[in-house]
Amino acid sequence: MKSLENTNGKIDKESVLPIYYQLAKIIERDIYQGKLKPGESLPPEHEIASKYDISRMTVRRAISELISAGLVYPQKGKGTFVAKPQLDNVVFELGDFYQEIQRRGMRPGSKLLSVKIVRANEILADKLQIPIGTSCIHICMVLSADNEPLVYEKKYVVYTKKMPILEAELKDPSLSNLAAIHSEHLPILSKRVLHAAIVTEEEASVLGIPLNTPVFMVEQILYDTEKKPVGWGKSIYRGDRYKLTSYNGWSIKDI
């Protein structure tokens, strides 16, 4: 097990960047720089929390993000370990929306369209493996570049009454964040499936494109340690404004 003591990374609690995101980036950098090597375990949650004077829940959230990115993986009863780069599988990655838009010299934006509690219909019940009628949090939002709508997102997690929806959560309404906060089980695996689709009337209206325009539909499902779904969502990407590129490995930056 390697310590993070020798890193130069610091947590800026006054930053607009979430603390979990800063921590994830510190660990990510150490992996890329070889300070944490494939097969080595991360320090225990309590040790990381103590080093940076943050909560263990924040540490868990950061590790969950790294698991979703494929940089680390959990072993029940043993800890979390650095993963080997996956170089043989073809993975289509749309990348972080905000970073990608900024890299192209445009101004990214997002607009929350609705947040509500819904009853699971047959489709949602099947996706989340829950009884029909179960209360779920439903979030709709649109992502834009220079005020042009590009992505329409819908996300669902099971609603837990003891965990009210807070305004602070809506500043980061990612599926992984919602599931980490509202699910009784921590999401540790993210599965994305790419579909070719034709835009619906609702989606066409939100994205400002003609009805029946071809789009990319990316379906995401989050799973806990017992491989039970804890979150489901879908993102509609405009086919006229997006192309898919495949890089194999942990990450390839600035290419």
> Which CATH number is 40's domain given?
1.10.10.10
pLDDT at position 206 over 80: yes
In a shared domain, residues 71 and 107 = no
Q: What is the mean pLDDT of residues 205-230?
A: 89
- Measured at the alpha carbon of residue 134, what is the angle toward residues 218 and 207, in degrees to the nearest 5? 30
Position 244 scores a pLDDT of 65
Better-scored residue on pLDDT, 13 or 178: 13
pLDDT tens-place string over residues 185-194: 677 778 888 8
- SS3 of the chain: the string is CCCCCCCCCCCCCCCCCCHHHHHHHHHHHHHHCCCCCCCCECCCHHHHHHHHCCCHHHHHHHHHHHHHCCCEEEECCCEEEECCCCCCCCCECCCCHHHHHHHCCCCEEEEEEEEEEEECCHHHHHHHCCCCCCEEEEEEEEEEECCEEEEEEEEEEECCCCCCCCHHHHHCCCHHHHHHHHCCCCCCEEEEEEEEEECCHHHHHHHCCCCCCEEEEEEEEEECCCCCEEEEEEEEEECCCCCCCECCCCCCCCC
- Alpha-carbon gap, residue 30 to 213, rounded angstroms: 43
The answer to whether residue 13 is domain-embedded is no
In a shared domain, residues 126 and 59 = no
In a shared domain, residues 216 and 173 = yes
Position 222 scores a pLDDT of 86
In a shared domain, residues 200 and 127 = yes
The answer to whether residue 14 is domain-embedded is no
Q: Of the segments 85-99, 127-141, 150-164, which one has the largest average pLDDT value?
A: 127-141
Position 90 scores a pLDDT of 47
pLDDT at position 57 over 90: yes
Position 47 scores a pLDDT of 94
Domain of residue 168, residue span: 97-238
The answer to whether residue 221 is domain-embedded is yes
Q: What is the mean pLDDT of residues 138-151?
A: 91
What mean pLDDT is reported for the chain? 82
In a shared domain, residues 70 and 194 = no
Number of domains making up the chain: 2
In a shared domain, residues 37 and 114 = no
In a shared domain, residues 101 and 225 = yes
pLDDT tens-place string over residues 94-113: 556 777 777 778 888 888 89
- Residue where one domain finishes, among candidates 51, 82, 113: 82
Position 98 scores a pLDDT of 73
In a shared domain, residues 117 and 188 = yes
